[in-house]
Chains A and B, each alone.
Chain A
Amino acid sequence: MIKSIKIPEDIKLLEDLRAGDIVQLSGIILTGRDAAHKRMMDFLDRNIPLPFNLAGQGIYYTGPCPAAPGKIIGSCGPTTSSRMDSYTPRLLDLGLKFMIGKGLRSREVIGAMIRNKAVYLAAAGGAGALIAGCVKKAEMLAFEDLGPEAVYRLEVENMPLITAIDSLGNNLFEIGPKQYRL
Chain B
Amino acid sequence: MKEIRVSAIIQAIEKLCIQACYNLGDDVKNLLDTAREREESPFGIRILDQLLENINASRENQLPLCQDTGMAVIFMEIGQDVHITGGSLQEAVNEGVRRGYQKGYMRRSVLDPLKRTNTGDNTPAVIHYEIVEGDQLKIAVAPKGFGSENMSRLTMLKPSDGVEGIKRFVLDTVIQAGANPCPPIILGIGIGGTMEKAAFLAKKALLREAGKPNPKPEIAGLEQELLQAINNTGIGPQGLGGRTTALAVHIDTYPTHLAGLPVAVNIQCHAARHAEAIL
Interface residues of A (CB under 8 A from B): 20, 22, 35, 62-68, 71, 74-77, 79-80, 82, 102-104, 122, 124-130, 132-133, 147-148, 160, 162, 164, 172-173, 175-182
| Shortest Cβ gap from B240 to chain A (Å) | 4
17 further contact pairs, Cβ within 8 A, besides A35-B116, A66-B106, A162-B240? A68-B105, A71-B63, A74-B67, A75-B67, A102-B180, A124-B54, A124-B237, A126-B269, A129-B61, A147-B108, A162-B238, A176-B236, A177-B178, A177-B241, A179-B234, A180-B41, A180-B44
Task: Decide if B270 is an interface residue (CB 8 Å cutoff).
Answer: yes
Q: Are A124 and B241 in contact (CB under 8 A)?
A: no
Q: Are A102 and B242 in contact (CB under 8 A)?
A: no
Task: List 29 contacting pairs A-B, 8 Å CB cutoff, sorted by A.
Answer: A65-B69, A66-B106, A66-B107, A74-B63, A74-B105, A75-B64, A75-B66, A76-B67, A79-B68, A79-B147, A103-B179, A104-B178, A122-B179, A124-B50, A124-B237, A125-B147, A125-B182, A125-B238, A126-B54, A126-B65, A130-B50, A130-B53, A148-B107, A162-B46, A176-B41, A177-B236, A178-B234, A179-B241, A180-B236
Task: Decide if B93 is an interface residue (CB 8 Å cutoff).
Answer: no
Task: Decide if B72 is an interface residue (CB 8 Å cutoff).
Answer: no
| Shortest Cβ gap from B142 to chain A (Å) | 16
Report chain A residues within 8 Å CB of B54: 124, 126-130
Interface residues of B (CB under 8 A from A): 40-41, 43-44, 46-47, 50-51, 53-54, 57-58, 61-69, 105-109, 116, 118, 120, 147, 150, 178-180, 182, 232-243, 269-271
Residue of A nearest to B150 (CB): A80
Q: Which 5 A-B pairs have the closest CB atoms?
A: A176-B241, A180-B234, A125-B182, A181-B234, A129-B58
In the docked arrangement, what's the CA distance between A122 and B46, Å?
Answer: 12
Q: Are B67 and A128 in contact (CB under 8 A)?
A: yes
Q: Are A104 and B239 in contact (CB under 8 A)?
A: yes
| Shortest Cβ gap from B225 to chain A (Å) | 14
How many pairs of residues, A versus B, come closer than 8 Å at their CB atoms? 171
Report chain B residues within 8 Å CB of A79: 67-68, 147
| Shortest Cβ gap from A24 to chain B (Å) | 12
Q: Are B63 and A22 in contact (CB under 8 A)?
A: no
| Shortest Cβ gap from B184 to chain A (Å) | 10
Q: Are A20 and B43 in contact (CB under 8 A)?
A: yes
Q: Are B239 and A103 in contact (CB under 8 A)?
A: yes
In the docked arrangement, what's the CA distance between A179 and B243, Å?
Answer: 10
Q: Are B107 and A63 in contact (CB under 8 A)?
A: yes
Q: Are B180 and A75 in contact (CB under 8 A)?
A: no
Q: Are A103 and B180 in contact (CB under 8 A)?
A: yes
Q: A75-B66, A130-B57 are in contact. Are A102 and B147 (CB under 8 A)?
A: yes
Q: Are B241 and A160 in contact (CB under 8 A)?
A: no
Q: Are A176 and B43 in contact (CB under 8 A)?
A: yes
Partner of A63, one of B47, B65, B67: B67
Residue of B nearest to A68 (CB): B105
Q: A122-B240, A177-B233, A179-B234 are in contact. Are A129 and B63 (CB under 8 A)?
A: yes
| Shortest Cβ gap from A4 to chain B (Å) | 16
* B40, B44, B179, B241 interface centre (most CB from chain A within 10 Å): B179
* A75, A104, A126 interface centre (most CB from chain B within 10 Å): A126
